[in-house]
Amino acid sequence: MQEILSLLCDHPCRITEIVRKCNLNYESALSMLERLKQRDMVRITEDGGVKRVNITEKGITTLNQMLSGGRFDFFG
């Protein structure tokens, strides 16, 4: 999850880019993105049939806390 959020800090990404750069299979990526979306850490937009994933302010805050040693339960 941290790797996905870090990638999204650089720029909004298509799901296939997340799969490739984070070395995930497609189903795992979708599952993780759904969890992040439910927690308002990412937003998925569609423009012209192209879906892009964007990090939200809450996602940036959470990532910063994770990088500074905070603990998070993404699955609870």
d(CA 8, CA 42): 9
pLDDT-derived band at 73, boundaries 50, 70, 90: low
- Nearest to 54, CA basis, from 19, 6, 13, 20: 13
Model-level pTM? 0.85
pLDDT of 76 strictly over 90:
no
Tell me if 67 sits within 8 A of 9, measured CB to CB: no
Percent of the chain exceeding pLDDT 90 equals: 83
The more confident residue out of 61 and 73 is: 61
